Amino acid sequence: MRLLFGILFVIFSLNLANAEEPTKEALLEELFQLTDSTEEAILARSREGFRTQIEASFKARNVKLGDEHLQAIEEIFISEFKKELPELMKEIRTLSLETYTIEELQKALELLRTPEGRRFQKKQEMLIQKLVMISVKSGMRAGKRAQPAMAAYMKAHASLN
């Protein structure tokens, strides 16, 4: 009888221990919170870059927009981005869940819960934003330089239409 109670106690204890273990999804959600990667935070950060990208896009076409028009175009873009954001977040969650193990998420959270980890994360975020802007500008410069050659190619191969 003691053996039966002992086995039942061990099984019950294991079930309780497993029930208290955070799920991968819960760990990922905490990671999103600590890294300001929620939908709201992404939208707020993205807003800052939208205007720069819109201005650069029109500048590349030699079109100068007044602030009123720039703001209106920015709002149109933000409205469309908001519609896309839930799907983007779903894809980020899916990719993250496929990429990270529970142990990796736990270790990342362990670091991010410290002041040093939060400082590192903020610097990493700023670095990534700057790298994205550098990449966008680089691509726009390359595209602008490639336009004459692409136009000449299309003219020479007008039958492609």
Digit-coded pLDDT (tens) for 25-70: 999 999 999 988 889 888 887 877 788 788 888 888 888 888 888 8
Q: pLDDT at position 115, please?
A: 94
- Using CA atoms, how far residue 32 sits from 67, 70, 84, 161, in Å, is 34, 31, 18, 47
Structure tokens of 155? 């003219």
pLDDT digits (tens, 9 = 90+) for 79-121: 999 999 999 999 999 999 999 999 999 999 999 999 999 999 8
Q: pLDDT at position 71, please?
A: 87
Cα separation, 58 vs 107, whole angstroms: 44
Residue appearing with tokens 């007044």: 66
Cα separation, 40 vs 43, whole angstroms: 5
Region at 36 (left for phi over 0; alpha for psi -120 to 50; beta for the rest): left
Tell me phi and psi for residue 12, to 5 degrees: -65, -40
pTM of this structure:
0.62
pLDDT digits (tens, 9 = 90+) for 6-16: 444 445 444 44
